Amino acid sequence: MDTVKAQQWLIGIFSILLIVALIIVAGVEMKKSRSFKPEIEIDDMSAKCITCHEKKGIAVKQIDAWKESKHAVSGTGCYECHEAAKDDFDAFTCTGSDILIGRHPTPKDCAKCHEQQVAEFADSKHAHQFWLLKNADRAVFENPIATRHGCEQCHNIGNIWPDGSVGECDVCHAKHSFSKSVARQPETCGECHMGPDHPQIEIYLESKHGNIFKAKSAHWDMNYTSKQGEPIPLEVPVCTTCHMEANETQPLTHNVSARLAWESQMTWSFRTVWNEEELGNWQKKRERMEAICSSCHAPDFYKTYLLTADLVNLQYNEIRRQFVYWTKKLTKNGKISRLEVNGKFYSDPVLNGWDEDPEHLMYYGWHHEGRRFRMGAEMMGADFTQWHGIWEVQEDLMEVIKWAAEHGDTEAKKIAESKHPAKFITYALYDMPGNAWGIPTKTNTTPFVYNNYPDYWDRVYKNVEAAYQRGLLSDEQWQIWLDRYENKEYYLGNKFSNSPVVDSTFNVYKKRNEYDLKKMKEQVIDLVLPGKSFFKGRKF
Amino acid sequence: MKFKEWLLERFPIDYEKFVEFNEKIFIKEPIPTHMKKWLFVMGATPLIIFGFQVLTGLFLTFYFMPSPEMAYESIRHITEDVRMGYWIRGLHRWGANLMIISLLLHMTRVFFTHAYRKPRELNWIIGVILFFLTMTISFTGYSLTYNQLSYWATTVGTNMIKEVPLIGDLMLFFLRGGDVVNTNTLTRFYTLHVMILPGIIFFFIFLHIVILRLHGVSIPEGFEEKYYSFYPHHFYKIIIATLFLLTLMSTLTVVLPPGIGIPADPSVTPTHIKPEWYFFPTYRFLKMVSLHVGIYATAAFVLVFTFWPFIEPLLSKEKRKQTIFSRTAGVLTLIITLILTIWETIVI
């Protein structure tokens, strides 16, 4: 071993070994560079479908999508889902072959492998065709052809199929990739949860959650598997994170109703009783949601936030009570009437009306503005709570009262003609001492009700207490509210509103504002142009 | 020959003297016969690996971006997307581990063959410095991966600097560029890892080799004082060692490729924080005693270890007794280090 010859031999041997090692390294590299696409083994049956479809150019993109799916990798081909028996409602023999297939794989087909997910979904409100149960034949107002691609496209998520199964999985898990990342995209939920009546996607995008998501999510892996006991792998939640997905303590669920505490899409906001036997009462559902909040936030924040949103829901009910009062009264007095054919009503004084202003305004005050008010408050959409919410709800109510006054209702006339600001608040109020965001120092010094009703907080106290006693707020929420009530000077910021340090900061802006107003007057208000009006002096 | 003349015209050195110098310094460098044994090649091993580290490290800098947002992502990119990136990264990562292993073996060999004894004390000290520099460069390199484990290992590791009397807090702040491990820490560690530490290591390696060459390789007891030329025998040995190391590191990269972990999350402290394995003995020891005691005891050990060539003669005048002392201390150190390492490995 000591000779030069031996050394040379060793060099030779190790050179060969190194070359072998490098070939292996290169082999791994090549496999890696090719393994971006998973290996797919196509069985004979699927191969038949694919060959024929590609040859005829029918729905070939769907095949590409399938190739990207987990189904493709796990050996779930075409026939596994499209299999059909002769008597199946959707069975047909595929053109140019003798293969009997089902045109519409339903949740029953998905349940062959995804039983739990399908069962959870069927137990959710996604699967509930509520609009069929109460008279709201919208086709009297909106043409049936519109509903085909309108209502029915979204509400197909709760379709009851001829095979008795309910739902449509690919509404969220777009076929044929059935990708988790597509299902997770907020825009997927936003396909339906958008627009004037339930703008959840717009609310989400207005929220801090949505803002951060838009800014940072471009490179996030949204295709992860959500597992109980593992932290949420996203910096901010998407829709599914809070409503469906697992975290350290919660399991993943396809029951979107399992974590909701309100029925805030309804005419009245009420605490949900959806499948209480298995899902528990609203407090249990709220606990589940809070468990998700707690992955990122401190309890003090999210409990205060949610309690405030709950009080918004309760406040909505009081305004709703006004709408119902006026439309009922106007109907009773014959000022407005219901649509009727052969003893069957096509409108309802408390639900919808299509032809007369008060009915229409009441409908908007619930179905559009009233929902925005509540849903904005629940999901951090400030503008939807305020301008697209309460502002428009109030306008609707004022219009109803004005309409009643113009049509001879003396009580309405009294309100319409009143010069007192309380004319806008013909109902009881809820309130929260302060907010979840911090301690304001000046904002609570101006509101009309605070300054003109010394018993304001006593009234609010009684209202919140009444809601609590009715079971609309939990013990814990009542305690949180009481704590704030007892320290309201602190939480409202009044304690600090006249402190020198606050005043000195405030005065800076006050002076700037005075200067702004002065300049606005100088620049534009006092400007009188020499050119005459073109209308002045005309006969027509 | 034309080229040689052309070159010599433009680079007018005394060619004959150059050949003579080269023969003396390299080709005919006297290598003692005991070096034919593979056990004694451990000194060249870390040098070869250091060469690999420089080369692979240079390639890694093509893609690595030292910012909290990009560090992890760029390592993922190197590992998963860049052609042969996983191999280069694997060589670098395994190189770091093998360099420490080979240094430990080299030091063990030097210690037990008493090669540190007069007149080679200074070279021992330089060697110890090189060892700690290697530990530091490994630590900074590990931190750069910016995954959850490395982030927290960096936090805990740098925390110890706080214990330096008087200036500890200031030193920690300077090293981290803030109160916690952050963007500044990453850029500082990057500069340390790719510029400052390699520069210092280069310098000490140079010094180490110069002193080695001036004294000549020490001949352990029981070996004849006979020599052979560097070329070809020893030159081939080094080539073999290089080929072997490259093969070994490539194989390890394929069989045990370095992972990327989960991205660092400064807001979530993991339940179990562990440094790299070569810090296990210190880490386990620090957990056994109070931080103060631990750090001072470790510092004392390092001092004794570094200055052992000077301490040994103080213990006894007799060579035989010195050897007994040294062997006992060496064996004890080895056993304790091994126990602490295994202990830390098996406990969660």
pLDDT tens digits for A445-476?
A: 888 999 999 999 999 999 999 999 999 999 99
Structure tokens at A449: 């009700």
CB contact under 8 A, B250 and A7: no
Q: What local confidence, expressed as pLDDT, does residue B264 receive?
A: 87
Mean pLDDT taken over chain A:
92
pLDDT at A391 over 90: yes
For chain A, what percent of residues have pLDDT higher than 70?
Answer: 97
**Residue partners of A351: CB distance under 8 A and separation at least 6:** A134, A135, A136, A267, A363
Q: Which two tokens stand for residue B63?
A: 């893609």
A11/B240 CB distance under 8 A: yes
Token pair of B325 as six digits: 């002392």
Mutate one of A1, A7, A8 to test the B interface: name it (highest B CB count within 10 A): A7
Q: Quick check: A46 pLDDT over 90?
A: no
Q: Is residue A80 part of a domain?
A: yes
Nearest-neighbour CA in chain A from B328: distance (Å):
33
Lowest-pLDDT range of A255-259, A329-333, B114-118, B288-292: B288-292
Mean pLDDT value across residues A528-536: 88
Buried b (16+ CB within 10 A) or exposed e, B149-165: bbbbbbbbbbebbebee
Domain count of the fold of chain A: 2
For residue A313, tell me if it sits in a domain.
yes
* DSSP bridge pairs for A345: A340
- A298 close to B (CB below 8 A): no
Question: Helices marked H in A407-497 — which ranges?
Answer: 410-417, 448-452, 456-469, 475-486, 488-491
A365: which 2 tokens?
């005050």
If one counts every other C-beta atom within 10 angstroms of the C-beta of residue A430, the result is: 21
Cα nearest neighbour of A8 on chain B: B236
Residue B223 CB partners (closer than 8 Å, separation 6+)? B32, B33, B34
B250: which DSSP letter?
H
Min mean pLDDT across A32-46, A286-300, B184-198, B328-342 is at A32-46
- Please, what is the angle between helix B44-61 and helix B197-215, to 10°? 160
Region A23-50: mean pLDDT is 76
Sign of CA dihedral B242, B248, B254, B259: negative
Position A136 scores a pLDDT of: 60
> Would residue A402 count as lying in a domain?
yes
Domain assignment of residue A293, yes or no: yes
**In angstroms, rounded to a whole number, what is the distance separating the alpha carbons of residues A372 and A379?**
10
Percent of chain A with pLDDT over 90: 73
Asked if pLDDT for residue A401 goes beyond 70, the answer is yes
By residue count, chain B amounts to 348
CB contact under 8 A, A7 and B254: no
Question: And the tokens for B127?
Answer: 């060697």
Is residue B348 over pLDDT 70?
Answer: no
Q: Closest to B250 (Cβ–Cβ): which among A7, A21, A33?
A: A21
What are the residues whose beta carbons fall under 8 Å from the beta carbon of A1, sequence distance 6 or more? none
Instruction: Please check whether residue A314 lies inside any domain of the structure.
Output: yes
A134 within a domain of the structure (yes/no): no
What local confidence, expressed as pLDDT, does residue A489 receive? Answer: 94
Q: Which residues of A touch B240 (CB under 8 A)?
A: 7, 10-11, 14
pLDDT given at position B120: 94
Is A76 contained in some domain? yes
Rounded Cα distance between A361 and A369, Å, is: 10
User: Nearest-CA residue of chain A relative to B34?
Assistant: A2
Q: CA A155 to CA A171: how far, in whole Å? A: 10
Domain that holds residue A82: 43-105
Contacts of B232 in chain A (CB under 8 A): 4, 7
**3-class DSSP state of B228:** strand
Query: Looking at the predicted structure, is the pLDDT value of residue B82 above 80?
Result: yes
pLDDT at A37 over 60: no
pLDDT at residue A38 in the model: 58
Structural contact between residues A160 and A132, judged by C-beta atoms closer than 8 angstroms: no
A8 interfaces chain B, CB cutoff of 8 Å: yes
**pLDDT mean over A149-176:** 92
| CA separation for the pair A503, A449 (Å, rounded) | 23
Name the β-bridge partners of A263: A270
d(C-alpha A308, C-alpha A95), whole Å? 60
Rounded to 5 degrees, what are φ and ψ at A270?
-135, 155
- What residue spans of A172-298 are helical by DSSP H? 180-184, 186-190, 200-206, 208-216, 239-243, 276-279, 282-293
CA-based nearest residue to B158, from B138, B181, B178: B181
Interface of B to A at Cβ within 8 Å reads: 36, 73, 80, 83-84, 86-87, 232-233, 236-237, 239-240, 243-244, 246-247, 250-251, 253-254, 268
Average pLDDT of the segment spanning B341-346:
91
Question: What pLDDT is recorded for position B220?
Answer: 86
Residue A23 contacts B, CB cutoff 8 Å? no
ipTM value for the complex: 0.71
Give domain status of residue A156, yes or no: no
Residue A319 has pLDDT above 60, yes or no: yes
| Cβ distance of B84 and A219 shorter than 8 Å | no
Residue A424 CA to residue A449 CA, distance in Å, equals: 11
Range from A192-201, A527-536, B186-195 carrying the lowest mean pLDDT: A527-536
- Would the CB atoms of B268 and A231 count as touching at under 8 Å? yes
Chain A contact set for B86 (CB, 8 A) = 28-29, 32
Residues B233-249 pLDDT 10s:
888 989 999 999 999 99
Name the average pLDDT for chain B. 91
Q: What is the pTM of this model?
A: 0.62
Which of A400, A427, A454 is a domain's end point? Answer: A427
The pLDDT value recorded for residue B88 is: 95
pLDDT over 70 (residue A135): no
Whether B154 has a pLDDT exceeding 80, the answer reads: yes
Separation of alpha carbons A312 and A464, rounded Å? 12
Q: Of A427, A452, A471, at which residue does a domain stop?
A: A427
In the prediction, which pLDDT does A39 show?
Answer: 66
Q: Band of the pLDDT at A151, cuts 50, 70, 90?
A: confident
Domain end position, chosen among A88, A105, A122: A105
The per-type count for chain A, helices as H runs and strands as E runs, is 27, 6
Q: How confident is the model at residue A98 (pLDDT cuts 50, 70, 90)?
A: confident
Per the CB < 8 A criterion, the answer to whether A25 and B250 are in contact is yes
**Amino acid identity, residue B314?**
L
Interface touch A33/B83, C-beta < 8 Å:
yes
pLDDT band at A331 (very low <50, low <70, confident <90, very high): very high
pLDDT tens figures, A1-17 = 567 788 788 888 888 88
